[in-house]
Every structure is written in C-alpha cells, then in structure tokens.
Amino acid sequence: MGPFEAQVIESVIAAVGVLTGLVLTLRFVLKKKELDLKRGGGDLLGPEIDALREELHETKAQVVELQERVDFAERLLSQGHRGKSE
C-alpha cells in the first residue's frame, strides 16, 4: 500500500471516528433532556427533544454511509494491491 492509499484510509477512519463521537454526544444530550423532562421540564422541551432525535437519526445514517465508503475504499485498495503483486 502506498502513502496515498494509507492517507485516504486514515482520513476516512478519522471521519468515522468523529461522527461516532458526535453520535455518542447526541445520545448523551438526548438522554439528559429526557431525564430533565421527566423531572418536570414540562412540554417546553418536547420540540427540542424531537429535533435532537431527528439529528441523531441523520447522524447515524451518515455514520452508516461512511462505514460503507470505508469498506468500499478498502476493497478498492486491496484489489489494487493484489494487482500490483501479481
């Protein structure tokens, strides 16, 4: 594997890591908001929780898409690597 391929893989893995961190953070915030709501936050947080749920759903979809891209890039790189060794 050449330096360019390694750099591409590192970049994609870093992006997946960042999005995974974002998903975990959003889950934490959502859980905190739900607990606040249960403690008497009233109906004021309802729309905010719904917005956070939607954002979490969208972020999860982005993580899945990035994982698919990483898999695809790995397949391409391994095919290129096998082609050079033959």
Place of tokens 């953070």: 25
pLDDT for the residue numbered 11: 84
59 in a domain, yes or no? yes
54 in a domain, yes or no? yes
48 in a domain, yes or no? yes
86 in a domain, yes or no? no
Instruction: Over range 54-68, report the average pLDDT.
Output: 90
43 in a domain, yes or no? yes
Residue type, 72: F
34 in a domain, yes or no? yes
Q: Which two tokens stand for residue 55?
A: 């954002």
Number of domains in the chain: 1
Domain that holds residue 68: 3-81
DSSP secondary structure letters along 50-71: HHHHHHHHHHHHHHHHHHHHHH
13-26 pLDDT per residue, tens: 888 888 888 888 88
